[in-house]
Amino acid sequence: MTGAAFLTAQGLNVELAGRIVLKDVSLSLSPGHLVALVGPNGAGKTTLLRALAGLVPSSGAVHVGGVALSSLSLGERARRFAYLPQGHIVHWPLPGRDIVALGRYPHGATDPARLTPRDTEAVLRAMQATDVVEFSDRRVTELSGGERSRVALARVFAVEAPVILADEPTSSLDPRHQIDVMKSLRTAADQGTLVMVVTHDLGLAARFADTVLVLSDGRLVSQGAPAEALSEEIMGEVFRISAYRAEYRREAVIVPWAEI
Amino acid sequence: MSLQNVMVTADIAARRRSGVMAALVVLVVLLALISLGIGPVRLSPVTVIDALFGAGSDVQQVIVREIRLPRTILGFAIGAILGLSGAALQGLLRNPLASPSLFGAPQSAAFGAVLVIALGLADVRSYALPVAAIAMAFASVFVLLMIAGRNAGLLILILAGLAISSLAGAATALVMNLSSNPFAVLEIAFWLLGSLEDRSFRHVMLALPFIVAGAIILLSQRNAFRALTLGEETAQSLGVDIGRLRLTVIVGVALGVGGAVAVAGTIGFIGLVAPHLMRPLIGHDPARLLVPSALTGAALLLLADIAVRIIPSTSDIKVGVLTSIIGVPFFLYLIKRERRALGGGVA
């Protein structure tokens, strides 16, 4: 990995309801990278994402930008981590613009009707980047799954945080929208953001990520460039599958093939 | 849509909301004037205004300023805090069926007040009454949210609310059952029905400080309700302290509802109805719904309290009875509308 680490964890342990979910996870991630976090169901991927953002109690040390997470207030954490949970829940039918504007909440812009010019610009930039300007006045609950996921992504971009943590942003999307979302996240990484994506889609992980982290039973068992991290051994041991492996336009291609 | 339009349409929506708010304020003022004018002696709104500001005959001044003004102030304040509490609970739980009365808060507050009266710890004009009511309202909402847990579905909330209000009702019945004075029992029974009749400025002083404190507390959390639109986890990631928010809302609702119940008995369903009337006009943003819901709640209770004075009947109808008679069918209509979500058991 190149560049100075921006987000590090040392000896991260998480226990939820008496069950140890994460065991001694240590990692070190640099800005400008797209990191895919993969692993079987129940491996602790979502918990790792939450622990990094400080949304679940954990033991061990997390540092972001050289500052200990534990020393940051909720607001300071919110400006450093933009978190996209699974499912893109929206409880009230608010217009798309107001949802995206919630991305400015950590910056003190708690009312979408009273944004500073700087907040307005951030909101508009995020809406352009995800191509959701046309949904500005549409109620998000009336949008299709793909459209709603783009609005959710715009909300995350509007935070303009140095770290984006996205939990299965492509699940339940058709292939075109999956690529769409991954490309947007890839662009954010290319512009200097550290993007961490939980996914079950090893193909997307191999295609778009700089680094793949493999989590199995709460432990980080493999990390590195996609083709190395998702080696035949790891695919066998962790996922218990074999995969078709190839290269297309100098990108790694991994297609899960058969159970073993 | 061009980029400029994005913000222009936002302005249009904001202007429409201001129009609705202005209309609500006018409505509440008109209803307050009518409320001051209605009674055995009918006074025109102009006479009422004159009497309020010290003009008109002495009799008119006494009627308006000393007999009817406390009733109207309580009608406004209690209606407003019930509407506000309903909107706040709906915002906190992201659930359009949340309201103080469905969660048993007024019933529990009434139990606290009845207990204090029956034990002879206080007469109906002492601060022990609102304090006991507030304590029980706090306990009921706290227990409800404890049982409901983090991401409570609709079914759990409604069932827990039903259980708590049943328990409070049974406890109240037990207190009355064990009471040796039949006249006190009758008085408590009528008081429980909810009424604003014959209230004095002492009652206003008893309830208003708690209602105002509750309102300030609930309004201070309004932006957190907006962030909660995205769910608790995302709201937390945006910097909202969920645990503290829940506790703050419980305290606010308990202060407001407890204070209200202590002087007016249980007046149900205003907290449920008011936010629903406002959503088509104001939109669904839970933060923007708070003040309009409070004004709507005030208008509803003033209207109901005017109605009970106009409806011809042999004995006077209690305003709490009227709000429930109107409110429960509305609740049934809401259940029908939310049937799909209810069937799934999740919000």
HEC string of chain B equals: CCHHHHHHHHHHHHHHHHHHHHHHHHHHHHHHHHHHHCCCCCCCHHHHHHHHCCCCCHHHHHHHHHHHHHHHHHHHHHHHHHHHHHHHHHHHHCCCCCCCCCCCHHHHHHHHHHHHHHCCCCCCCCCHHHHHHHHHHHHHHHHHHHHHCCCCCHHHHHHHHHHHHHHHHHHHHHHHHHCCCHHHHHHHHHHHHCCCCCCCHHHHHHHHHHHHHHHHHHHHCHHHHHHHHHCHHHHHHCCCCHHHHHHHHHHHHHHHHHHHHHHHCCCCCHHHHHHHHHHHHHCCCCCCCHHHHHHHHHHHHHHHHHHHHHCCCCCCCCHHHHHHHHHHHHHHHHHHHCHHHHHHCCC
Q: Which of B43-57, B87-101, B144-158, B331-345 has the lowest mean pLDDT?
A: B331-345
Percent of chain A with pLDDT over 70: 99
Q: Which two tokens stand for residue A179?
A: 């690529």
- As a whole number, mean pLDDT of residues A13-37 equals 94
pLDDT reported for residue B149: 74
CB contact under 8 A, A50 and B233: yes
Mind listing the pLDDT tens digit for each residue in B311-324? Answer: 887 777 889 999 98
For B230, name the nearest residue in chain A, comparing CA atoms only.
Answer: A90
Q: Residue type for A160, please?
A: E
Q: Is the pLDDT of residue B256 over 80?
A: yes
d(CA B90, CA B96): 5
CB contact under 8 A, B229 and A99: yes
Mind listing the pLDDT tens digit for each residue in A60-95? Answer: 999 999 999 999 999 999 999 999 999 888 999 999
CB contact under 8 A, B284 and A137: no
Residues 6+ apart with CB under 8 A from B70: B199, B200, B201, B203, B204
Q: Which of A12-26, B239-253, B329-343 has the lowest mean pLDDT?
A: B329-343
Question: In Å, what is the CA distance from B285 to each residue of A123, B96, B130, B256, B274?
Answer: 18, 12, 32, 22, 14
DSSP structural state of residue A3: S
d(CA B35, CA B43): 10
pLDDT reported for residue B154: 66
CB contact under 8 A, B239 and A74: yes
What value does the mean pLDDT of chain A take?
Answer: 93
From the number of C-beta atoms within 10 Å of its C-beta (0-12, 13-18, 19+), residue B126 rates as middle
pLDDT reported for residue B347: 37
pLDDT reported for residue B129: 85
CB contact under 8 A, A102 and B229: yes
Instruction: With H, G, I as helix, E, B as strand and everything else as coil, classify residue A185.
Output: helix
Percent of chain B with pLDDT over 90: 48
Percent of chain B with pLDDT over 70: 93
- As a whole number, mean pLDDT of residues A234-242 equals 92
- As a whole number, mean pLDDT of residues B159-163 equals 88
Task: Using pLDDT thresholds of 50, 70 and 90, give the confidence band for residue B346.
Answer: very low
Mind listing the pLDDT tens digit for each residue in A177-186? Answer: 899 999 999 9
CB contact under 8 A, B229 and A83: no
CB contact under 8 A, A92 and B284: yes
Pair B187, B197: CB distance under 8 Å: no
Whether A128 and chain B come into contact, CB under 8 Å, resolves to yes
What value does the mean pLDDT of chain B take?
Answer: 88
Return the exposure string of B3-25: e unless at least 16 CB atoms fall within 10 Å of the residue's CB, then b.
eeebeeebeebeeebeebbeebe
Which residue range(s) make up the domain with B288? 69-344
From the list B95, B227, B236, the residue facing A102 with the nearest CB is B227
- As a whole number, mean pLDDT of residues B31-47 equals 91
CA of residue B336 relative to chain centroid, distance? 23
Residue B19 within a domain? no
Domain with CATH 3.40.50.300 in chain A: 7-65+162-259
Pair A14, A58: CB distance under 8 Å: yes
Q: Which of A94-98, A129-133, A185-189, B333-337 has the lowest mean pLDDT?
A: B333-337
Mind listing the pLDDT tens digit for each residue in B239-250? Answer: 999 889 988 998
Taking any CB pair shorter than 8 Å as contact, residues of chain B touching chain A are 1-3, 5-7, 9-10, 13-14, 94-95, 223, 226-231, 233-234, 236-241, 283-287, 347
Strand partners, A216: A219
Q: Is the pLDDT of residue B179 over 70?
A: yes
d(CA A48, CA A54): 10
CATH of residue B128: 1.10.3470.10
Classified by CATH at the fold level, domain A7-65+162-259 comes out as Rossmann fold (3.40.50)
Mind listing the pLDDT tens digit for each residue in B123-158? Answer: 666 788 889 999 999 999 889 888 877 666 667 877
Residue of A9 and A172 predicted with greater confidence = A9
What is the CB neighbour count within 10 angstroms for residue B91?
29
| Rounded CA Rg of chain A | 18
pLDDT reported for residue B331: 83
Return the exposure string of A38-58: e unless at least 16 CB atoms fall within 10 Å of the residue's CB, then b.
bbeeebbbbbbbbbbbbbbeb
Mutate to test the interface with B, among A50, A76, A91, A133 (most CBs of B within 10 A): A91
Q: Is the pLDDT of residue A2 over 60?
A: no
From the list B6, B9, B14, the residue facing A124 with the nearest CB is B6
pLDDT reported for residue A1: 44
Instruction: With H, G, I as helix, E, B as strand and everything else as coil, classify residue A41.
Output: coil
pLDDT reported for residue A168: 94
User: Residue A251 phi/psi, 5° resolution?
Assistant: -110, 145
Q: Which two tokens stand for residue B110?
A: 């009434």
d(CA A65, CA A172): 33
Strands A34-38 and A211-216: parallel
Tally of domains within chain B: 1
